[in-house]
Amino acid sequence: KNEVEQSPQNLTAQEGEFITINCSYSVGISALHWLQQHPGGGIVSLFMLSSGKKKHGRLIATINIQEKHSSLHITASHPRDSAVYICAVAPGNQFYFGTGTSLTVIP
């Protein structure tokens, strides 16, 4: 079962490029999260969205509830943005996760 689909799976960008990662989901949700995982394992939460758009520094997350779609944008990408980005949705108490997008930003 794939309640959450992310694209692309892998992404390589040159430093400074604008990056978009997409997430589509098939279940009704109360919230969607974007997570970041650096090499070594630990996961941090970047955004929690239930509608509209949020911005934090160079990161922007949008969600369209009707279309069941969310995007994570990174402006002026930097090598330190290299990580796996994971979309997660919460229909209830449990979370469903996408398989992640591995981003590499080359200097």
Partner 1 sequence: DVKVTQSSRYLVKRTGEKVFLECVQDMDHENMFWYRQDPGLGLRLIYFSYDVKMKEKGDIPEGYSVSREKKERFSLILESASTNQTSMYLCASRGQTNYGYTFGSGTRLTVV
Instruction: Between 19 and 32, name the residue whose CB sits nearer to partner 1.
Output: 32
Is 94 a binder of partner 1 (CB under 8 A)? yes
Looking at 42, 57, 66, 67, which residue binds partner 1 (CB under 8 A)?
42
Residue 66 sits in the site that holds partner 1 (CB under 8 A): no
From 44, 56, 57, 80, residue interacting with partner 1 (rule: CB under 8 A): 44
Q: What number of chain residues touch partner 1 (CB under 8 A)?
A: 21
Closest CA to 97 of 85, 72, 89, 105: 89
- Binding-site member from 45, 64, 75, 104 for partner 1 (CB under 8 A): 45
CB of 1 or CB of 80, closer to partner 1: 1
- 65 touches partner 1 (CB under 8 A): no
Beta carbon nearer to partner 1, 41 or 107: 41
Give the helix/strand (H/E) hosting 1.
none
Q: How far apart are CA 104 and CA 10, in angstroms?
A: 8
- From residue 52, how far is each of 1, 9, 15, 81 by CA, in Å? 27, 24, 28, 23
* Rounded distance between C-alpha atoms, residue 68 and residue 19, angstroms: 20
Radius of gyration over alpha carbons of the chain, in Å? Answer: 13
